[in-house]
Structures are given as structure tokens and as C-alpha cells.
Amino acid sequence: MKSMEEMMKAAQEAAQTVQTQMEEVQKRLEALEVEGAAGGGLVKVKASAKGRIINVAIDDSLMVPADKTMLEDLIAAAFNDARQKADQVSQEETAKMSSGLPLPPGFKMPFT
């Protein structure tokens, strides 16, 4: 049987490994980009997989003052589409990282 000291050292090393892996995942998520769209692609929002908005593109045909409310709704829908895709990519990347970890059943990572 392992001594308490050996078990503590192994636990600390495992924790450090998990921390390092999670930092790598967070860096990858910031670099991954997704694009949400609304109105048949007339409004597009590009975001990182962590949800940081990178770009908003609005088709010139939408720039009519009478359509302001519709344009605002399309922008909100595009943001929501990008956020949903970012969440999906984030979950997939976190699942890849945690698949090799000996975590107890039902354990959730703190930011998934």
C-alpha cells in the first residue's frame, strides 16, 4: 500500500496536470472561431469559442431606416446563434480534454 505522502504527491501531480490541460483548452477555445448568422446570412457575427465577439457583418441591403427594428432583432439572433455554437465547441473541447482523466461518474468540470 502506498504511503500517505506518496498518495498526496500523486494527487498534487494529477491536479497540476489537470490545471495545465485546462489552461491549454482555454487557450484553444479563445483561438477557435464560430460564426452565427441570421436573416439568411444578411447578418453575421463571428465569435471565439469562449464567446468573445470578434466581428459583426451587416449586409448593405439592410441599411434602411424603416427596417431598424428588424435589423436589431437580426443582430440579436446572430449573437445568440454564435453563442450557441461557441458553447457547443467549448463543451466538445472540454470533453476531449477530460475524456482521459479518471474522474468519478457525474463529475462536472467547473466551467463546462
> In the numeric block, which cell numbers belong to residue 14?
494529477
pTM of the model: 0.57
Contact yes or no for 40/81 (Cβ under 8 A): no
pLDDT in tens, 37-63: 999 999 999 888 887 888 888 888 888
Q: How far apart are CA 80 and CA 88, in angstroms?
A: 12
Q: How far apart are CA 28 and CA 11, in angstroms?
A: 26
**Alpha-helical regions (H) of the chain:** 4-31, 68-98
Phi and psi for 50 in degrees, rounded to 5? -90, -5
Classify strands 43-48 and 53-58 as parallel, antiparallel or unpaired.
antiparallel
Instruction: Let me know if domain 4-98 sits in CATH 3.30.1310.10.
Output: yes
pLDDT in tens, 74-109: 888 998 899 889 888 888 887 777 776 666 666 565
